[in-house]
Amino acid sequence: MSGALAARGASEEGNRGRVEATKVRRYWPGKRPDWVGNEEEEDLAVPSTAPAAEDEPTSVQRTDIAAPVVVLKEDPRLRRLQQQQAELAVVRRRREAETSGRDEDGEAPSSEDEDALERRRAAVRERLKQEEAAAVAQVEQESEESEEESSEYETESSEEESLAPRLLLKPVFVPKADRETIMERELLARQEEARLAAEQARAEIRKVETKEILAHRLEVEAAEEASAKEGPRGMDDVVTDDDADDDEEAYEAWRLRELRRIGMAREAREREEREAAEKERWRNMSEEERRRHLALNPREVAPKPKKKWGFLQKYWHKGAFFQEEGDAQVEDGPMLGALASRDFSAPTGQDKFDRSTLPKVMQVKNFGRRGQTKWTHLADQDTTDWGTPWVQNDSLRNKYNQKMAASEQVFTKPKSTRT
């Protein structure tokens, strides 16, 4: 045993790595390949039932293979129909083979003739047709049953869908102004027609008015041409009652304005005359008379009260123009009016609040804003810039100051000059 194993091992070692020669087989069109199995041959081969001679080999008839049917969609009914058709074809071929084998191999009886053979063949064909019809009917019945099942499934699915909750759309409210109905459309159409009719009527009226204006203009031009041809008119033709149509209120307002203007002019003229007479009298006085006059008639100059300004109050300038009315104490003048009596030193806005009660850090202008000031006011702050040249008293500046006239402080008695 050990020797056999050793011999087999040696042979395997020798054959290892050896490549067997491949036998090339030629391809013949229509010839069955060798790799086809024997099972297909057994299925396709139909043995003859007639007794064969001992010295003759058994004859085997080979049938053709049915062409495959390509089905794009998998359907069990079509598959069953194809199987039944294939089975019927196989049965038909087997029976034909049996009949032909009997005719060829068996000895026909002498009593049968050709008519009997034809009748037997016709009966076989009729029986095959009946079997095929029965198979087709069975297939149709199965297809009807499958259709009924599918219809039942569809009805069940439709019932389930009907029982299932349906998706409803959310109602959207449309304002009445945005709703479009038939009545509204008709109303809009009627309004449009009315608008077009009104525009057409206005156009006609405008045409008539244009014609009237043109006719009036032509008449005026004709009258002007006629008057120009006649020559200049006399004084009687000049209209002098222009103010006859003025209202009484306008006339009364004009009368008051004129009276006020006349009064102001008279007062100014009298004031100028008094001032001129006073200047002339003062010019003719001597110094003694002037002193005596001032002692007896002192000038009554009322000192104006000094305005007290608030802490951190902003200063507003009253302006430099049109101040004659304010100096003359003329109220409601034509230029300044009520502005002449206004006190410009009065606090306004935030200046009305007392800022002296605030903390020291908040006693600045525009506190907490971008324009906040650094100093409260200049009265308590020293803003001298000691880095400027005119503040520094260096030797060069002292030498320059000594050369200036009357800069040397000398109080000694000057030396007598040489005579």
pLDDT tens by residue, 3-18: 555 555 556 666 666 6
Q: Which long-range contacts (CB under 8 A, 24 or more apart) does 175-180 make?
A: none
Are residues 312 and 365 in contact, defined by beta-carbon separation less than 8 angstroms? yes
What band does 35 get if pLDDT is binned at 50, 70 and 90?
Answer: confident
d(CA 350, CA 90) in angstroms, rounded, equals 120
Span 55-100, pLDDT tens digits: 444 444 555 555 554 545 567 777 888 888 888 888 887 777 766 6
pLDDT of 198 above 90: yes
Query: Residue 394: which pLDDT band, with cuts at 50, 70 and 90?
Result: confident
Average pLDDT over residues 163-169: 69
Condensed to tens digits (0 to 9), the pLDDT of residues 295-307 reads 888 877 777 788 8
Alpha-carbon distance of 301 to 320, in angstroms, equals 23
| Contact predicate 302/340, CB 8 Å | no
SS3 label, residue 46: strand
What's the whole-number mean pLDDT along residues 295-323? 81
User: How distant is the alpha carbon of residue 174 from its chain centre?
Assistant: 24
Q: Which residue has the higher pLDDT, 227 or 289?
A: 289
pLDDT at res. 62:
52
